[in-house]
C-alpha cells in the first residue's frame, strides 16, 4: 500500500503573525516557520499504517526552497521519501489554488491513500482535503477520529454531537484526520539523522502540468482589500455595587449597549 501525507509549512503558532502590506498575504518571512502542528497527527497515522500494513509513505509539500527543512522534519518521523513542488507562481494561492496543485501532484504519483490533517494552523479553512478529492474524483472521508484499512477498504469514524458516523470507501481515497485521532510520537535521533539522506524529489508546476495562471494570488477566488492592526486593548468597565440596586441597572444598561442582551 502506498500512502501520501501532504504537509504544510506555517508560521510558528507562538510567533506574532503579520500581513505583508504589499500583497496583503501572510508575511512568512517575518516569523519562524514550522511544520504545521496538525500534520503531526496525519503523519502519526501514516506511520501506524506503515507499521501495521508495511505501507510505503511519502510526504508531499507545496512550498518554496526554504521549506525543505520542513520536509526533512516530516521525514524524521519515519516516512520513506518526499516530493516537494516549488514554484514562485504558487505564492498567494488560496485554498482552491492549493488544492489544484496538490491534486495535480498526486496525479503524477502512485498512491492508494492520502492522509491529510483536517486543517492548517495558519488558514484553518478545512477546505483543501475535500477540494482535492473533488478535483480527483475520488472519495474524501473528512474529520476522521479513527482510521482503519481493511484490504482495499478504508473505514473512518467521524464524531459529532449525537454520537459517531462510520464511513467507508474503496481505495484509492482521501482521508482528513482531527487532532483527537492519536498521540503523535517524537522523532528519534536515528530518524532525524536518517531523514537527511532520504530521497527528495523537487518538481515545478510545469513538471506536474499546472498552468501558472491557474494558481497564485492573481487566480485566488478570495481577495483582501484592506486591513489594519488590531487596536490596543482598552481598560474595562468597573461597576461598583453599593447595595442600592443601581449597579444592577448600570450593568444591564452596559450589556444592552454592547448588544449582549
Co-location of 208 and 257 in the same domain: no
For residue 261, is it within any domain? Answer: yes
Q: Cell triple for residue 46?
A: 501514516
pLDDT, position 14: 76
Co-location of 27 and 100 in the same domain: yes
- Domain of residue 240 covers 235-261
Per-residue model confidence as pLDDT tens digits over 132-142: 999 999 999 99
pLDDT, position 110: 96
99: left (phi over 0), alpha (psi -120 to 50) or beta: alpha
pLDDT, position 13: 77
Q: Cell triple for residue 84?
A: 516537494
Co-location of 8 and 105 in the same domain: yes
For residue 226, is it within any domain? Answer: no
CATH number at residue 113: 3.40.50.620
Q: Cell triple for residue 62?
A: 507545496
Per-residue model confidence as pLDDT tens digits over 180-202: 999 999 999 999 999 999 999 99
Co-location of 164 and 258 in the same domain: no
pLDDT, position 235: 80
Show Cβ contacts of residue 208 under 8 Å, excluding neighbours closer than 6 positions.
85, 101, 104, 105, 107, 108
Instruction: Point out the least confidently predicted range of 43-47, 102-106, 224-228.
Output: 224-228
pLDDT for 28 beyond 80: no
Co-location of 171 and 87 in the same domain: yes
Q: Give the closest residue to 90 by CA, choosing from 204, 223, 200.
A: 204
How far is the C-alpha of 144 from the C-alpha of 141, rounded, in Å? Answer: 7
Identify the band that residue 209 occupies on the pLDDT scale cut at 50, 70 and 90: very high
**Residues 217, 92 contacting (CB under 8 angstroms):** yes
Co-location of 215 and 239 in the same domain: no
- Which residues in 174-204 are b (16+ Cβ under 10 Å) and which e? bbbbbbebbebeebeeebeeebeebebeebe
For residue 225, is it within any domain? Answer: no
Co-location of 242 and 215 in the same domain: no
Instruction: Point out the least confidently predicted range of 40-44, 71-75, 121-125, 170-174.
Output: 121-125
- Report the residue count for the chain: 261
User: What DSSP designation does 240 have?
Assistant: -
How far is the C-alpha of 156 from the C-alpha of 62, rounded, in Å? Answer: 26
pLDDT for 74 beyond 90: yes
The rounded mean pLDDT for the chain is 92
253: left (phi over 0), alpha (psi -120 to 50) or beta: alpha
Co-location of 239 and 213 in the same domain: no
For residue 229, is it within any domain? Answer: no
Q: How many domains does the chain have?
A: 2
pLDDT, position 45: 97
Identify the band that residue 6 occupies on the pLDDT scale cut at 50, 70 and 90: very high
pLDDT for 29 beyond 80: no
Amino acid at each position: 500500500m502506498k500512502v501520501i501525507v501532504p504537509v504544510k509549512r506555517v508560521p510558528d503558532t507562538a510567533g506574532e503573525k503579520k500581513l505583508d502590506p504589499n500583497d496583503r498575504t501572510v508575511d512568512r518571512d517575518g516569523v519562524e516557520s514550522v511544520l504545521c502542528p496538525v500534520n503531526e497527527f496525519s503523519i502519526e497515522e501514516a506511520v501506524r499504517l506503515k507499521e501495521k500494513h508495511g505501507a510505503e509513505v511519502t510526504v508531499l509539500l507545496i512550498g518554496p526552497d526554504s521549506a525543505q527543512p520542513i520536509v526533512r522534519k516530516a521525514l524524521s518521523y519515519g516516512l520513506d521519501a518526499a516530493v516537494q513542488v516549488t514554484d514562485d507562481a504558487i505564492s498567494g494561492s488560496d485554498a482552491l489554488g492549493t488544492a489544484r496543485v496538490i491534486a495535480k501532484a498526486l496525479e503524477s504519483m502512485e498512491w492508494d491513500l492520502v492522509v491529510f490533517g483536517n486543517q492548517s494552523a495558519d488558514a484553518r479553512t478545512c477546505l483543501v482535503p475535500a477540494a482535492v478529492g473533488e478535483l480527483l474524483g475520488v472519495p474524501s472521508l473528512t474529520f476522521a477520529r479513527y482510521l482503519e484499512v481493511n484490504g482495499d477498504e478504508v473505514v473512518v469514524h467521524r464524531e459529532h454531537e449525537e454520537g459517531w458516523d462510520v464511513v467507508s470507501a474503496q481505495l484509492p481515497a482521501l482521508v482528513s484526520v482531527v487532532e483527537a485521532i492519536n498521540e503523535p510520537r517524537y522523532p528519534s535521533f536515528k530518524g532525524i539523522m536518517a531523514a537527511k539522506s532520504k530521497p527528495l524529489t523537487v518538481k515545478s508546476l510545469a513538471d506536474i502540468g499546472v498552468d501558472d495562471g491557474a494558481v497564485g494570488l492573481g487566480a485566488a477566488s478570495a481577495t483582501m482589500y484592506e486591513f489594519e492592526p488590531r487596536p490596543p486593548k482598552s481598560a474595562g468597565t468597573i461597576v461598583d455595587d453599593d447595595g442600592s440596586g443601581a449597579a444592577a441597572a448600570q450593568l444591564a444598561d452596559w450589556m444592552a449597549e454592547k448588544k449582549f442582551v
